[in-house]
Amino acid sequence: MTDAEKAALAKGDRVFYLNLGKMTAGTVVSRDDANDRITINWDDTGMGAVPINVPGFWSYANRRVL
């Protein structure tokens, strides 16, 4: 993850993710830069806060921060 990618997502930022044709929204609730991981509380999945550490997610979410 680049420094620009890390700086783009902060606690409280809104992100959107297209999953199987459905747009899902969430809020960043925490970051763990040492492990390239963020935790997102997804609004409508019923999963609550979910840690995300997929490298590709960073570049995707970067363009979707409100």
- Give the dihedral sign, CA 42/46/48/54: negative
Radius of gyration of the chain (CA): 11
Q: How many domains does the chain have?
A: 1
CATH number at residue 22: 2.30.30.30
User: Which residues constitute the domain of residue 32?
Assistant: 3-62
Q: Give me the pLDDT at residue 57, please.
A: 57
Residue 3 φ then ψ, to 5°: -60, -35
What pTM did the predictor assign?
0.60
Angle at 35 between CA 31 and CA 39, to 5 degrees: 30
Indicate the pLDDT class of residue 66, thresholds 50, 70 and 90.
very low
Query: Residue 35: which residues within 8 A CB-CB, separation 6 or more?
Result: 53
